Amino acid sequence: MKMTAVYFEPEDWLVFREIRRFNPSDRVESIFPSPFPFYGALRSALLRKWGVKLKYAKSPEISDEQREILGNANNAGKLRLFGPFIFERDGDGNVRHYFPAPKNIYKVTDHCKKEYKEMPVLMLDKKVEADELKLDLAWKPEYNGASEAESAFIELNEVEVDELKLDLAWKPEYNGASEAESAFIELNEFERLHRGESFTLDGPRGLRTENQIGVGLETDMKHVKEGMIYSITRYRFVDGGFFMLTDDEETLELLKGIDGVFLGGKQRWANVKFCEMETHIFEPVDLNRPVAVSLLTPALFDGGIAPKSGQISNKQIVAIVGAKKVAISGWDLENNTNKPIYHAAAPGSVYYLNGSLDTGATLQESDLTDFGFGKVAFMSWEYFKGEV
């Protein structure tokens, strides 16, 4: 499948702020930016391209046709992109593209040999009642000589879907199995995974993040504004940045001539470039085999981390790995207020389905798909054939 990558290469650091609720025990963690600030940056660039003067916290004076192109806080308008993801250049100037790694990948170490594998599915005699499941399960399969360091873990993930019955995706190896150390997978390695070949995980090496927490103040600057607690993540790249993907010709025509945007908090400048690329990870692997889909972007399901129906594209969900909610929000510059907080299924969540798919890589069960939510990559999966 041919796609066009839209690269956002910052001249300095970039900062992104997310509105969220904090519990007393919460800690500040890196917030990967949502599509919203990138859509906002491109919309502002289009307004400048049209010669429209921008005034802070005021709606621009534009025609109905231009307003239809730009959309609003709840509608992407005519633009169609998904992401963001991370890119960087290696020492030879080649561009490497990084995506969220599927959470069903684990590492097996045997002496000096390291191998990455996908979790097979263990068929349970009695299915797990997902609506009653609220914890992980750890167990030691050996009765003698077993220690905590050598425990084998079966992951049962919290699923807030009424009456959804699941089999179990798990790590069948007792010794040497551990969680994959990288949260990213490079595109060429993703292609190998997609084809069922050996692959590795490796994240961007030139990326540095800094995390902070902040509070909003009332206009008198003496009191904290209710609900205005936010987290800030500052990104510093060495010869790299973010990119989004599109296969929409109208989007590319609209963005023609844009060579830079003001992106994120503090409105830092990022150079914009376009480049065609080709990949097969958005296409089903084998129509004769059951498929698993891994979220590349967040998904807003009516059942929390999965659709209430327990189905994706009319195929029953057999097992889920790594699914957790992430809070996504942003700042509505036009109305000078924070956007609603969405609780989405996180990128990297993997859904094992009971059949093949011949549909596209956008999950229609998700809301806000016009902003690029619910985009997936395809993999195959198998049932565990050994003895437990």
pLDDT tens-digit map of 190-210: 999 999 899 999 889 888 887
Choose the final residue of a domain: 258, 278, 298: 278
- Whether residues 378 and 316 fall in one domain: yes
Listed as own residue / partner, the contacts of 333-341 with beta carbons closer than 8 Å and 24 or more positions apart are: 333/40, 333/56, 333/57, 334/57, 334/58, 334/59, 334/72, 334/73, 335/57, 335/73, 336/56, 336/57, 338/19, 338/227, 338/228, 339/19, 339/36, 339/73, 341/19, 341/20, 341/21
Choose the final residue of a domain: 278, 310, 342: 278
Q: Is residue 187 part of a domain?
A: no
- Whether residues 242 and 334 fall in one domain: no
- Whether residues 264 and 289 fall in one domain: no
- Whether residues 140 and 269 fall in one domain: no
Q: Is residue 13 part of a domain?
A: yes
Cβ atoms < 10 Å from Cβ of 108: 16
Q: Is residue 70 part of a domain?
A: yes
155 versus 20: the higher-pLDDT residue is 20
- Whether residues 60 and 152 fall in one domain: no
Overall domain count for the chain: 2
Cβ atoms < 10 Å from Cβ of 247: 16
CATH code for the domain of 384: 2.60.40.4350
- Whether residues 57 and 137 fall in one domain: no
pLDDT at position 368 is 94
Asked if residue 37 has pLDDT above 50, the reply is yes
Average pLDDT over residues 135-142: 37
Can you give the pTM of this predicted structure?
0.82
Q: Is residue 196 part of a domain?
A: no
- Whether residues 26 and 94 fall in one domain: yes
With a CB cutoff of 8 Å and minimum separation 6, the contacts of 167 are 121, 122, 123, 124, 127, 128, 318, 319, 352, 383
- Whether residues 255 and 131 fall in one domain: no
- Whether residues 16 and 76 fall in one domain: yes
Q: Is residue 387 part of a domain?
A: yes
Model confidence pLDDT, tens digit, residues 346-371: 999 999 999 888 778 899 999 999 99
Q: Say what percent of the chain tops pLDDT 70.
A: 77
Task: Show the domain range for 58.
Answer: 2-101+202-278
- Whether residues 82 and 218 fall in one domain: yes
pLDDT at position 260 is 95
Q: Is residue 337 part of a domain?
A: yes
- Whether residues 218 and 291 fall in one domain: no
- Whether residues 160 and 212 fall in one domain: no
- The pair of structure tokens assigned to 177 is 């199995």
167, β-bridge pairs: none
